[in-house]
Structure 1
Amino acid sequence: MSQAIPRSVEELRELTVGIGRGEEGGLALGGKAHTVLAKLVERPEEVAVRSITELAATLGVSPSTLTRLATRLGYAGFVDFQNVFRDSLAERHRHFYSQQAERLVAGASARAQGGNGGRSPEVDTVVQLARESINNVEGFLAQLSASELQGAAKALAEAPRVRIHGLRQFSALASFLSYGLGLIRADVGLLDAQGLGMAEGLAQLQPGDVVIATSVAPYTRSVVDAALAAARAGLVVIAITDTRASPLVQPAQHAFFIPHESSFFSNSMGAYLVFCEGLLNLVATHLGASALQALERRERFITELEIETG
């Protein structure tokens, strides 16, 4: 391969996005290999401390698949690839490996013994989901990019118009973002708020306007199609999705990756809401006084119309 071999987790993340966008010259990975790479760079702690056999089992692939992926990327083997994760995390956590190993061993021991601290099965179910959401939050925090956050917040604050698009379960997240942004700035809404279709919604926008697209595996085809069409029309696309192998990465100028691994019977939304609250706060900070004025104006109408009680 002609490009330099990545020697940090961040460089590997950038490479993963570049491959998805077709920006890495002659380097190409099959869909399965690209998905595996995306999952690896989103769980650096596990890659650093687990064996190739354990990682392969977690990802549902064979150890030889991981070895082939490492050599395809230019590494001498999987250990050479794994050392990138170990070296990067050692810079941040001097005692990371022992702490991570202790946590993995303790978790395995607790599961083997069926220990739940004396909680009822009902409470234990909620506790398990909460802890999984915490792990997902830690997962996206470990890979946040300051420049991506700054760029997205600036675009959302300064664009003439903002539209948000998410369907099925992620229609709820789209509505939450639309409501939150609408509290602090004007001309925000859902892309298909009136049910007139994606073509009508996109036709109302101009280059420089922003579309937030959100979907996770299994991805909603129409959300991906809308994001691609928006990018071709010169709109700024911000993707809120799960992995760097997501089809939303290619059209997005800014992309954020939120894990949703959980025992919940559908996609876990907890970490997505936490991320979106943080993004909204950044937009409000960028807007400054105008955000405060928008909130105060809304409060005056709430008082005048006697909307709230108690």
Structure 2
Amino acid sequence: MTEPPTTPPQTLNGLKQRLKAIEAGEAGIRLGKRSRHTLALLIEAPQQAAVSTISELAVQLGVNASTLSRLAQRLGYGGFGQLQAVFRREVTEGQSFYSDQASRLLEASGDTGELARLSRLVRQESANMAGLLKRIDPAAFEQSVTLLATARRVRVHGMRQFHSLALFMAYGLGMLRPDVAPLDAGRQGVADALAQLAPGDVLVVASCFPYTPSVLATAEVAARHGIDVIALTDSESSPLARVARHSFPVPNHSLFYSNSMCAFMLLAQGLLSEVASVLGEAGLAALKHRETMIAELGASL
């Protein structure tokens, strides 16, 4: 059911439908060609629209900030902040993200052959990993490795499928040095787990669109209390990138029905491998100590 013209859309899908109705002359609202184009650009990049200031968006879109304010008002919002709230809800909730991804997967069924879709996924993931290497800031990578190797405590946090990435990183780094764990390893809750950290400790967070609100809040609180945040996310405009000391934008374009994890796992392995190199003999000694424990426990493992 189409929303009445006097009621501004409260969802991204509703905003898309409103733009279609405007272009068809069926919305009771008239927008000029430039305003329609600007609205289309906002809809195509909800993450950018959600996290940028009105001034930043104006520069990115090549318009004046007043143009964005007038656009919001023409659509029935009280101001640009109300229009931006639509994109922010989409970014933090993303209720249709997984079904939208699955729909694209089904639509891309033109390939024939038993392994056609797998072959296409392989090509996409290869492009993601190549893109990752191009987007990494070498200085940020080196400094992050130093923090992971030398900080007194390191915690890793991710939810949903990124929980597996957090477990992997905590396990791998814990093989090389002490006092590393998933943030909520003791299941005592994130607040208590954060309270155990102090300025100079490190929190690695991982999330991408649709961002998990609790992960965003955790990163914000940690940064506010002097904890060094390292973010594995999807773009420079990610909400996590805004609060992290170092952030890494990871390409994850894929036909997979959820977020692609291949490039994220590659980045995690790359960071851990570099930490092992930096720790040198100390890391090797930690691994040998671990092997001794495994051998002594033997069949009881």
Q: Deviations over 1:186-212 (max 9, x none)?
A: 000011112211110110011100000
Deviation of residue 260 (structure 1)? Answer: 1.0
Q: How many residues align?
A: 212
1:213 and 2:201 correspond: no
Write out aligned runs for 1:114-125 (5 A): 119-120=113-114, 123-125=115-117
1:302 touches 1:308 (CA, 8 Å); kept in 2? no
Q: Deviations over 1:126-170 (max 9, x none)?
A: 211111111110111111111001110000101000000000110
1:155 and 2:147 correspond: yes
1:266 and 2:241 correspond: no
1:35 touches 1:244 (CA, 8 Å); kept in 2? no
| 2:135 counterpart SS class | coil
Residue identity matched to 1:224: L
Write out aligned runs for 1:1-310 (5 A): 36=45, 69-70=61-62, 119-120=113-114, 123-306=115-298
Q: Deviations over 1:35-75 (max 9, x none)?
A: 95988xxxxxxxxxxxxxxxxxxxxxxxxx999724679xx
Partner of 2:95: none
Q: Deviations over 1:65-102 (max 9, x none)?
A: 999724679xxxxxxxxxxxxxxxxxxxxxxxxxxxxx
User: What residue ranges of structure 2 are gaps of 5+ in the alignment?
Assistant: 1-38, 49-56, 66-107
Deviation of residue 306 (structure 1)? Answer: 2.1
How far apart in 2 are the matches of 1:174 and 1:281?
A: 16
| 2:122 counterpart SS class | helix
1:212 touches 1:240 (CA, 8 Å); kept in 2? yes
Distance 1:158 1:72, change over 3 A: farther
1:157 touches 1:283 (CA, 8 Å); kept in 2? yes
2:111 touches 2:117 (CA, 8 Å); kept in 1? no
How far apart in 2 are the matches of 1:163 and 1:35?
A: 35
